[in-house]
Amino acid sequence: MYNDYKFSYANINKTAFNQELSKRGAYYANVVMWTTLFSLPVFLLIDYLFCRDSWVDFSLIRLVGWGLSYLIYTYSAKENWGYLKTVTWFVWVNVVVNSIICGIVPISGSVLAYFLILSIIMLIVNTTIFWSPIYSIYTCLVSYVIIFFIYTLKQRVDKYAVMIDHGGGVYFIISAFSCLLAYTRYSILCRDVERSVMIDDANNKLVDRNEKIKDQHYQIEETNRKLKVVNVSSQENMTVLMHDYKTFTDTVKTSLDTLKATSYNLMPSQLDIINSIGTQNDKLIYLAQKLSGTVSATGSHDATIHFNKEYFDLNPEVEKAVLDIAESAMLKSMSLQLNISPAANNVYQDKLFTDQVLNKLMNNVIRHSQPGSIITVRAEHIDGKAVVETISHGAAIGVDKLNEMVNKLKVLTVTDENALNDLGLAATKKLVETMDGTFTYSSEDKTGNYFKIEFPSNH
């Protein structure tokens, strides 16, 4: 039965994919390298137990290999090598050392034990390190060449047969099989990374959509608020207008009644005109009565922000904003920590726009934080100001990148290909400053990504 379990990754973010591959590869490489460095005493003990006649010579070879391995590790960290280059040289040094020892072990000694140890090393390397299978093949070939070269120097006719019978054959089979395992593992982990990147992109899209929905909600609320102001103003104007209109129609009616009272002095044609005017006036009075309860709410949209400031406690709004992003944080395996001062944190601000600022900040912190990060939100009253601090403990965005995102509105042009993308932090900063607040930020490897909003607590 045929089952198609393939996924389409045609539109995957290649930059994010390569970064995730690099992170995983570096993690597994560090595990292998530090495990190898700390395993030196175990190998020295094995040499002492299985080859007491030559264990001192073997120990010197291992110490030289250990020193070279540690030198490669420290030098690569200093020169900022990629993990693949570092782990390749590291593994080759250790495979060469163990292959040399396997080759020089006396045939009368425990050759089988050393070949089995080398087999285990190759299995661990090829099932732990995340690299392309071609590097596993190169590593095995280097080991084969060293072993065959050393056995070529031995003065025995049946030296190759003895090597195969005493564990060499087992080692060749296991090491070759480990290359197949490396290929399988590499393919599985690549597919897992692709799926992780797609899930992360989907989560970021959900966060973006949530932010856009929130923005639309605030726009609707602000429009409704403006319409209410227009409605009240229109109602007042209409009331005055209808009062004047009613006064006018009453005056006309009184005048017509006076004329009708003296109709004996009027000509028939004049009476017809007076009756016609009276009829029309009655229609106007009826229309005025119908329109007196109707308000026209038309008006032009004013792009200027009009704040309706009031005193309120900022802490509940911060808590609500954090709860709104809880689901998005859970999708990205993030932990939320909320520290709110028990004392009142009063501000004199527009509540609607304050909620928008908080939601915009929280959504963008989630969007630009790596999965597994710890997000800490603090709200307190300091030196007459309401302060909200958000810290993302994880991979740092970097000061240069953060400056670019926060100041994007200053350099944005209509010809930019992605002019409307990633404006969340820039919009947050602009809105905070418009509300007479301050927005500060920083990004360091030790402290993470830090954002702080400060609002004055009085007029």
DSSP string, 332-352: TT-EEEEEE-SS--EEEEEHH
Tokens of 66: 């250990």
What is the rounded CA–CA span in Å between residue 237 and residue 232? 9
If you ran DSSP here, which 8-state letter would residue 370 be given?
Answer: P
If you ran DSSP here, which 8-state letter would residue 263 be given?
Answer: G
Please, what's the largest Cα pairwise distance for the chain? 155
The backbone region for 384, taken as left when phi is positive above 0, alpha when psi lies in -120 to 50, beta otherwise, is left
Q: What pLDDT is recorded for position 185?
A: 86
List, as own/partner pairs, every contact residues 57-61 make where C-beta atoms lie below 8 angstroms and the sequence separation is at least 24, other chains included.
58/101, 61/97, 61/100, 61/101
Identify whether the C-beta of residue 312 lies closer than 8 Å to the C-beta of residue 347: yes
What is the rounded CA–CA span in Å between residue 143 and residue 123? 13
pLDDT in tens, the chain (459 residues): 334 444 444 456 677 777 778 888 888 888 889 988 898 889 888 888 888 888 888 889 999 999 999 999 999 888 888 888 999 999 999 999 999 988 888 876 688 888 998 999 899 888 888 888 899 999 999 999 999 898 888 877 788 888 888 888 899 999 999 999 888 888 888 888 888 777 777 777 777 777 777 777 777 777 766 666 655 555 555 555 565 566 667 677 777 677 666 666 666 766 667 776 777 666 666 666 655 544 333 344 444 566 778 888 999 999 988 888 888 888 788 888 889 888 888 888 888 888 888 888 888 888 888 888 889 999 998 888 889 999 998 888 888 888 888 887 665 544 444 444 567 788 888 888 888 889 999 888 887 889 999 998 765
Identify whether the C-beta of residue 111 lies closer than 8 Å to the C-beta of residue 167: yes
What is the rounded CA–CA span in Å between residue 140 and residue 328? 46
Q: Which domains does the chain have, with CATH numbers?
A: 14-205 (no CATH), 219-291 (no CATH), 308-456 (3.30.565.10)
- Cα 295–Cα 300–Cα 303 angle in degrees, nearest 5: 135
pTM: 0.52
Identify whether the C-beta of residue 182 lies closer than 8 Å to the C-beta of residue 126: yes
For residue 88, give every residue at least 6 positions away whose Cβ sits within 8 Å of its Cβ, in sequence order, or none.
131, 135
